[in-house]
């Protein structure tokens, strides 16, 4: 690329910054002050200035890119190698042990045999990297020149998402979900957690920190069921989530903070992205298990020289040239899934010992033996009991269940509009069962009289309230029986079973990335000393982003590409709304259920009639003025001063 920038040689040759970009700036450590040395945007400075095209320092036309895993992280890496690295698509090849692309973003089946989606992704408008990617990927159904982002906006701008039945109990009765119900001491604990440094929270669990009053609050029902947190999961990850979604906390009760695609995650995102990459010449090689990387280590420098694969039962070694790069997904949250049907429970033949030998963990385990910079995978795969849960996909013809579902939906589920608006959680369920009906059809070719419903439960070790088994022990029909009991339609179970196909999925590692961790347990995206290797997905370390989102997968891919190619581009840190006084105040009011917080009355007095008076939420139903002690004393002081004027 020297020729491309030759007209700028005088500037570049005299620059102290050229080629020294911090590709992953950290907003939690950066002091935002302008100096002569500050030439790049601040760490979380979101905006069009970040949309510059990357200019590689040299041509990579002859470089080959090997990407292990064709999930969203790997596919995003391919996109950024093409867009920002200017690498020809034909030079990029995926190596995947599966037989279909998409990784954990699945969506398959048909109306006759039943559809299946192992999980879903709740989406946020602040996913800057995800939308950076999909603003350029051609839409699934809109004509050119429209993108996936355009399609997404068209649906969500015109069909608001919210729930009218977020919590239910007592055989299908809607439970009051208007309040978080957090005690003052627990609100203070949340504030203290936000103030703590990340380094203080190594290996701590949520239940190590929070009291039972917090863990039994409505807030925790909302949070844990929405994000799939367990009490024994990482306190550090919970803290990161609270920072990441601070701006959305007030909308978590009714899901008005969320946006959803028209179809399932595979058809909405994987299919159009795969089509784009294949059109660019990218190759996808399935049924290829990558077991290890042959890495030459010299001092702190680490260079991948060969990729060791298993293809059709044979070991095949792929040479990696001096100009080539390797991107590897370290593991998968849906590794070793076990499936069930209406008449069968998942045949779970895995435990902690055998699970550690599964194919999905081999590459990371082998890398970890070579150097500490590759992390400690055993922290994440060693306790299946604490990292698993089960989901079930229901393919429903009209039935008593569908009629009950209609009562809980915002719109008729057959209308194509928002249905439940997100998961409905059954608070008195021993399994802590939740279910959701997204916009229908959920699959492009789904028949008009079919609904696709997703069900999952967090508590795997408890027997059901009605079916005296744990969920993994249950057949699909028994799962229906438990669900119908909680909906108050047990007397119509035969009708529901007759018209519902169930495909269940037990996932041993679905929340393994939430397991308590310490610094160094997860490798960095480009581990120290690696010159041609990037690690992506849900098991690598970023500065401040969370796991279990499509955004974090795309972020890791983007960091890997920019760092390995040393592009003059940064990956901005998470959206800076956590520092915005408006969202801090809004979150404070929401967590206190809009009752006056300490000093609120005084603050309202100061802001009243000023440019900033709108930053406090004004609730119409709470017109009564609540004054703090400080406000009352200020009023008395004004009256006292008035006596001298008279």
> Catalytic amino acids?
122, 241
Q: Is 212 exposed, middle or buried (0-12, 13-18, 19+ CB in 10 A)?
A: exposed
Strand partners, 41: none
Question: In sequence order, what are the residues at sequence separation of 6 or more whose Cβ sits closer than 8 angstroms to the Cβ of residue 572?
Answer: 25, 41, 43, 44, 45, 46, 50, 128
Q: Which helix (H) or strand (E) holds 92?
A: strand 92-95
Strand partners, 289: 310
Angstrom distances, CA of residue 471 to CA of 359, 452, 479, 622: 26, 20, 7, 44
Tell me how far apart the alpha carbons of residues 437 and 182 are, in angstroms, rounded to a whole number.
Answer: 29
Q: Is 70 exposed, middle or buried (0-12, 13-18, 19+ CB in 10 A)?
A: buried
Tell me how far apart the alpha carbons of residues 169 and 43 are, in angstroms, rounded to a whole number.
Answer: 45
By DSSP bridging, strand 108-110 and strand 114-116 are antiparallel
Tell me how far apart the alpha carbons of residues 292 and 313 are, in angstroms, rounded to a whole number.
Answer: 15
For the beta sheet containing 288-298, the strands, ordered from the edge strand earlier in sequence to the opposite edge, are 288-298, 301-311, 314-319
Strand partners, 102: 71
Tell me how far apart the alpha carbons of residues 450 and 499 are, in angstroms, rounded to a whole number.
Answer: 10
CA neighbours within 13 Å on the CB side: how many for 578?
A: 19
Q: If we measure between CA atoms, which residue out of 402, 399, 495, 392 comes closest to residue 440?
A: 402
Tell me how far apart the alpha carbons of residues 546 and 234 are, in angstroms, rounded to a whole number.
Answer: 12
Tell me how far apart the alpha carbons of residues 641 and 635 are, in angstroms, rounded to a whole number.
Answer: 10
Angstrom distances, CA of residue 37 to CA of 34, 45, 338, 522: 8, 17, 55, 32
């Amino acid at each position: 690329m020297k020729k491309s920038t030759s007209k700028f040689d005088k500037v570049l040759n005299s620059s102290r910054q050229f080629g020294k970009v911090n590709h992953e700036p950290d907003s939690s450590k950066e002091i935002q002050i302008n100096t002569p040395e500050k030439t790049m945007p601040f760490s979380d400075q979101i905006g069009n200035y970040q949309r510059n095209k990357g200019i590689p320092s040299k041509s990579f036309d002859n470089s080959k890119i090997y990407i292990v895993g064709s999930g969203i992280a790997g596919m995003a890496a391919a996109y950024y190698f093409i867009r920002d690295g200017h690498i020809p698509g034909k030079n990029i090849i995926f190596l995947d042990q599966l037989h279909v692309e998409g990784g954990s973003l699945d969506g398959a089946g048909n109306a006759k045999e039943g559809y299946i989606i192992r999980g879903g992704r709740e989406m946020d408008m602040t996913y800057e990297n995800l939308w950076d990617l999909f603003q350029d990927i051609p839409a699934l159904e809109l004509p050119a020149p429209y993108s996936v982002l355009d399609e997404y906006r068209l649906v969500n701008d015109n069909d608001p998402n919210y729930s009218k039945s977020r919590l239910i109990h007592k055989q299908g009765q809607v439970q009051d979900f208007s309040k978080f119900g957090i005690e003052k001491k627990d609100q203070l604990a949340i504030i203290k957690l936000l103030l703590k440094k990340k380094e203080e929270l190594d290996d701590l669990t949520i239940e190590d920190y929070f009291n039972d009053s917090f863990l039994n609050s409505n807030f925790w029902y909302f949070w844990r069921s929405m994000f799939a947190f367990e009490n024994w999961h990482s306190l550090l990850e919970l803290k990161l989530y609270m920072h990441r979604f601070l701006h959305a906390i007030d909308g978590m009760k009714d899901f008005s903070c969320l946006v959803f695609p028209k179809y399932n995650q595979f058809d909405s995102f994987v299919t159009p992205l795969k089509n784009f990459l294949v059109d660019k010449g990218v190759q996808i090689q399935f049924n290829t298990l990558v077991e290890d990387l042959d890495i030459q280590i010299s001092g702190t420098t680490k260079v991948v020289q060969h990729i060791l694969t298993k293809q059709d039962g044979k070991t095949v070694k792929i040479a990696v040239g001096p100009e080539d790069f390797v991107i590897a997904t370290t593991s998968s949250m849906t590794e070793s899934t076990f499936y069930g049907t209406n008449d069968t429970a998942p045949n779970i033949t895995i435990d902690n010992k055998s699970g550690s030998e599964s194919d999905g963990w081999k590459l990371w385990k082998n890398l970890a033996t070579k150097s500490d910079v590759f992390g400690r995978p055993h922290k994440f795969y060693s306790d299946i009991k604490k990292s698993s849960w089960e989901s079930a996909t229901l393919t429903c013809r009209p039935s008593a269940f569908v009629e009950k579902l209609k009562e809980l939906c915002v719109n008729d589920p057959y209308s194509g509009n928002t249905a439940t608006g997100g998961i409905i959680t059954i608070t008195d369920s021993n399994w802590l069962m939740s279910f959701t009906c997204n916009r229908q059809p959920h699959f492009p070719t789904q028949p008009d009289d079919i609904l696709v419903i997703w069900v999952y439960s967090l508590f795997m070790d408890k027997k059901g309230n009605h079916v005296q088994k744990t969920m993994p022990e249950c057949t699909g029909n028994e799962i229906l029986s438990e669900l119908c009991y909680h909906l108050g339609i047990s007397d119509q179970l035969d009708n529901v079973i007759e018209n519902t196909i169930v495909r269940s999925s037990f996932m041993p590692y679905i929340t393994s990335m939430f397991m308590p961790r310490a610094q160094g347990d997860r490798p960095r995206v480009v581990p120290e000393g690696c010159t041609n290797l990037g690690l992506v997905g849900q098991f690598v370390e970023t500065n401040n982003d969370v796991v279990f989102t499509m955004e974090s997968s795309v972020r890791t891919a983007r960091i890997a590409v920019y760092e390995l190619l040393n592009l003059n581009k940064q990956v901005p840190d998470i959206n800076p709304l956590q520092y915005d006084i408006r969202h801090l105040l809004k979150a404070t009011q929401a967590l206190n259920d809009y009752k006056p917080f300490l000093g609120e009355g005084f603050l309202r007095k100061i802001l009243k009639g000023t440019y900033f008076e709108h930053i406090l939420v004004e609730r119409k139903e709470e017109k009564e003025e609540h004054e703090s002690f400080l406000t009352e004393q200020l009023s008395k002081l004004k009256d006292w001063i008035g006596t001298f004027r008279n």
